[in-house]
Structure 1
């Protein structure tokens, strides 16, 4: 048996207490506990304890410190179960204690993957232009199950997706106006896929966008590219060979053959 000889408040943390023990060898520091544990076990000077009780108090305090770490980590934003587990593991908390802390957090309503996923999706809706597939990928990386992620993603409506995808399309299209329609569409489509939008939404947006795009922009883009090819090849080729080189370059760029022939006829007569 050992007896508590004195209890002192820690200087740097007033909610923690140092417990000093007295045994046949004299008075010495035993362990530290949080205020909650001090109150729960009614620890006081002169209280006698056996070795089993001392070990229990130490274990309780270790779990409490792990719990406090988790609470602090949660204070910045909601976390998934995986995020909490990974964080505590990195802090060298053993697996059994991690489980106990997470179980307590869950019972207190502080750890709920569905609530986390719902809030995460809501934040993405309000603050980003990421499509559902990209948001789902983020959720899965945070340890959210496919079922929970799919349920949360129901918050992302078709109208929201279409609106965001249309804005991204207009922005991306304007930065590729010197490319052929075919290349522009492929570039924009790839961009929207990378942003996580569904193929149906991408198809609908591009179909509508292409309908309203000015046909003259394709011609202007072709002229721009055609003149670049002329400058590239005119030092080595002339006449028919030059036209074939330019024709091949424009074709590989995705321009329609009728516009290519028009360019060759109207803009390269002087090269023949």
Structure 2
């Protein structure tokens, strides 16, 4: 109340009362914003949405954001730069996913472009290769084609551009011939248990279809069928 120079017994006009109420709303919203910002950096859009959810009118939100900007509690440029650094290093996210998240957080396009310019192609390739190698170590009993498609989908979900994904998959290498045969054997045994009761011609047809859908080459499938021609 000191800012309004109020004294005991002083008559308060409607105009002054409105100013007092407004100042109190701004002060309250400012404290709410500081508490919200205490946990991590936030975009201006996040702060505004939080205050709006708390019931603050737009005029109060604008006033609070103006004060927060002046005191450097919010800075979308610094926020975007820090967000890109964090997401690429700790979450292995590609630039397309990071861009989508920054857009959702209300960061202006100009600042998104500026921050993503620091996410170099070399960094994208290195992170995508790391994800590829991790997937390779955890490889299931699957064909090379199925493996590559699974990794392709993973890298797309992570937000890497098509050209980066294509380069990583081309450079990475896949199964050796022996690994491909071993994976085929595992999948063929599973399919065999499903179709063994069929007459041989229908059995072979269903086996070929099932294994081809799994990504195995027809010559390897036919080789396996020849080798197991007498299996019950």
Instruction: Return the TM-score normalized by structure 1.
Output: 0.77
| Deviation of the 1:143 alpha carbon | 0.7
| Deviation of the 1:206 alpha carbon | 0.8
Matches within 5 A, 1:97-246: 97-210=60-173, 213-238=175-200, 240-246=201-207
Deviation string 1:29-72 (CA, Å, 9 cap, x unpaired) is xxxx5xxxx3x34555x473432334322321221111121122
Deviation string 1:192-249 (CA, Å, 9 cap, x unpaired) is 10011111111111111126x42211111111111222221112223x3322221222
**Cα gap change, 1:257/1:236 in structure 2, threshold over 3 Å: closer, same or farther?**
closer
Instruction: Give SS of 2:216's match.
Output: coil
More helix by share: 2
* Structure ranking higher on relative contact order (CA contacts 8 Å, 6+ apart): 2
Matches within 5 A, 1:53-68: 53-68=16-31
Match of 1:250 in 2: 211
Q: Is the 8 A contact 2:22 2:60 kept in 1?
A: no
Q: Is the 8 A contact 2:188 2:207 kept in 1?
A: yes
Match of 2:229 in 1: 269
Unaligned 5+ segments in structure 2 are none
Q: Is the 8 A contact 1:177 1:217 kept in 2?
A: no
| Deviation of the 1:157 alpha carbon | 2.2
| Deviation of the 1:269 alpha carbon | 2.7
* Aligned CA-pair RMSD: 2.1
More strand by share: 1
Match of 1:259 in 2: 220
**Cα gap change, 1:229/1:67 in structure 2, threshold over 3 Å: closer, same or farther?**
same
Count residues with an aligned counterpart: 231
Matches within 5 A, 1:27-42: 33=1, 38=2, 40-42=3-5
| Deviation of the 1:116 alpha carbon | 1.1
Deviation string 1:72-92 (CA, Å, 9 cap, x unpaired) is 212222211111111111111
Unaligned 5+ segments in structure 1 are 1-32
**Cα gap change, 1:67/1:230 in structure 2, threshold over 3 Å: closer, same or farther?**
same
Instruction: Return the TM-score normalized by structure 2.
Output: 0.89
- The reply on whether 1:86 has 2:49 as its aligned counterpart is yes
